Amino acid sequence: MRLKGGDPFVFGRGGEELDALRNAKVPVFATPGVTAATGCAASANMALTHRDYAQAVTFVTGHAKGEADPAPNPSIDWSALAALKNTLVVYMGVSKAASIAAKLIEHGREPSTPVAVIENGTRANQKIVKGRLSELDRLIDAGAITGPALLVIGEVAALADGETLLSIADKQRLVA
């Protein structure tokens, strides 16, 4: 038995594990779960497809197979992702955030596009930071985001509960 948080069939290797068990003739069933994108968005009080801002949402992984950087990955169509102008949710994108932001901007996404980073979503230690695409890597550093986290890119991200770079800086000044 394996217990996995979130939805193991969205970037969670659930399909590969299911295939391996079936090939080994091990009886298996999957209990449906809520995918991280929808759970994290709800816990951040943010609708991924708010009718005023986004009519679609796209899920993409921040990692190619193994440790490869997704930015030069030919299987990711950065032009298409940048052109959508809807909500983009990047799973496992923290360590590649600077590269992901650069590729999206290079392919036409506005640097001012709102972003939200949700770490440990739906858990007691959840942390949400938000800002602009052009400052995504600085936002992750300032918020001390280490993962697991989702990157939400698009106009709906401005609606998320969370701290901005300015509020993080103000809090740090108060502590100092």
Give the mean model confidence (pLDDT) for residues 148-169: 90
Res 57: pLDDT: 95
Q: Considering all CA atoms of the chain, what is the largest pairwise distance in Å, rounded to the nearest integer?
A: 60
- Please report the DSSP string for the chain in residue order: ----SS-TTTTSSHHHHHHHHHHTT----------HHHHHHHHTT--TT-TTT-S-EEEEESS-STT--STT-TTS-HHHHHH--SEEEEET-GGGHHHHHHHHHHTT--TT-EEEEEESTTSTT-EEEEEEGGGHHHHHHHTT--SSEEEEESGGGGGS--B-HHHHHHHHHHH-
Res 32: pLDDT: 74
Q: How sure is the predictor about 34, in pLDDT bands with cuts at 50, 70 and 90?
A: confident
More confident residue, 37 or 66: 37
How much of the chain, in percent, has pLDDT values that exceed 90?
57
pTM for the full model? 0.86
Q: How sure is the predictor about 130, in pLDDT bands with cuts at 50, 70 and 90?
A: very high
Res 171: pLDDT: 74
In tens, the pLDDT along 161-175 reads 988 887 777 777 666
Res 7: pLDDT: 72
Q: How sure is the predictor about 4, in pLDDT bands with cuts at 50, 70 and 90?
A: low
Would you list the domain boundaries of the chain? 1-33, 35-175
Give the mean model confidence (pLDDT) for residues 132-155: 94
Least trusted range by pLDDT, from 80-84, 87-91, 123-127, 166-170? 166-170
The verdict on whether omega for the bond into residue 114 sits within 30 degrees of 0, i.e. cis, is no
Given the candidates 3.30.950.10, 1.10.150.240, 3.60.9.10, 3.40.309.10, the CATH classification of the domain at 35-175 is 3.30.950.10
Chain centre to alpha carbon of residue 174: 30
Res 54: pLDDT: 93
Give the mean model confidence (pLDDT) for residues 17-44: 87
